[in-house]
Structure 1
Amino acid sequence: MKEIMAVVRLNKMNQTKKALTEAGVNGFYAHEAFGRGKGLVSSDLLEGAKEGFEEAVELLGEKGRLYSKRVVTVVVPDDQVSDVVEALIKVNQTGKPGDGKIFVTAVPEAHRVRTAEHGDKAIL
């Protein structure tokens, strides 16, 4: 089993939900998040702003801003990972900064509380 966590644009959520359903995903979680990518901000500038240097804060302007995102999390069997990742990329890729990230991690075990099923049975 693998956990797929995708950070996506707010305005792509409806398309993302549809793409996940079409890729055979039965259930997933989504929650609000705020963040930013590396963008055009240097680490020196961020460090200066963190230390309270007004010049650094002014230079950051909009570049240091946190943007609203959605984090979608799904756990799928190993054989479904590539289909889900491809579906997420296809629907969220605009070619512009801020398209998001996808992280895939191993899930050694899962249990369904209601039925006590475990392993792949718990997520299908």
Structure 2
Amino acid sequence: MKEIIAIIRPNKINRTKEVLDALGFSSMTANAVFGRGRQKAIVGEVTFAIQNKDLREEEGSMRYIPKRMISLVVPDEDASLVVESIMKVNKTGQIGDGKIFVCPIEDAVRVRTKESGEDAIL
């Protein structure tokens, strides 16, 4: 099993969920997050100033940018399909398109039924 973690633009989350659901991957966790890569704030994407000093550096420096993070666990053989689908929906060719991480998962357990392994995620 693999965990796919994707950090994407907020305006792409709904389309990403629609595509993954259509492919049969409707189980996921989604969070609103702040972060940054190499880019500074993107004009038109950041419409507010972050007031919390823990989330920003000195005045005039790079700001944390609002993003969405989705996480889903899939069988090994489906990881490439999920990654390619997320990339297809989210690629604009511009800085800030996001990142995708693929991590190995040793096991999963469904609490209600005690199913484990892939049975717990399917």
Give the greater-gyration-radius structure (CA). Answer: 1
Structure 1 distance, partners of 2:84, 2:97, is 14
Matches within 5 A, 1:81-120: 81-120=79-118
Amino acid corresponding to residue 85 of structure 1 in structure 2: V
Hey, what does 1:6 align to over in structure 2? 6
Structure 1 distance, partners of 2:15, 2:29, is 15
Hey, what does 2:24 align to over in structure 1? 24
Query: How many correspondences in the alignment?
Result: 106
Which has a greater percent of helix?
A: 1
Three-state SS of the structure 1 residue aligned to 2:19 is helix
Once the two structures are superposed, residues 23-71 of structure 1 have per-residue CA deviations (whole angstroms, 9 ceiling, x without a partner) of 220300000100111126xxxxxxxxxxxxxxx94552xxx11111010
Hey, what does 2:71 align to over in structure 1? 73
Structure 1 distance, partners of 2:118, 2:59, is 51
Contact 1:23 1:83 (C-alpha < 8 Å) held by counterparts: no
TM-score (norm 1): 0.81
Contact 2:39 2:95 (C-alpha < 8 Å) held by counterparts: yes
Q: Give 5+ residue unaligned stretches, structure 1.
A: 41-55
Structure 2 distance, partners of 1:120, 1:111, is 9
TM-score (norm 2): 0.82
Hey, what does 2:33 align to over in structure 1? 33
Deviation, 1:19, is 1.3
Hey, what does 2:43 align to over in structure 1? none
Structure 1 distance, partners of 2:119, 2:59, is 54
Deviation, 1:110, is 0.3
Percent identity between matched residues is 49
Structure 1 distance, partners of 2:23, 2:80, is 10
Let me know the Cα RMSD of the aligned residues: 1.5
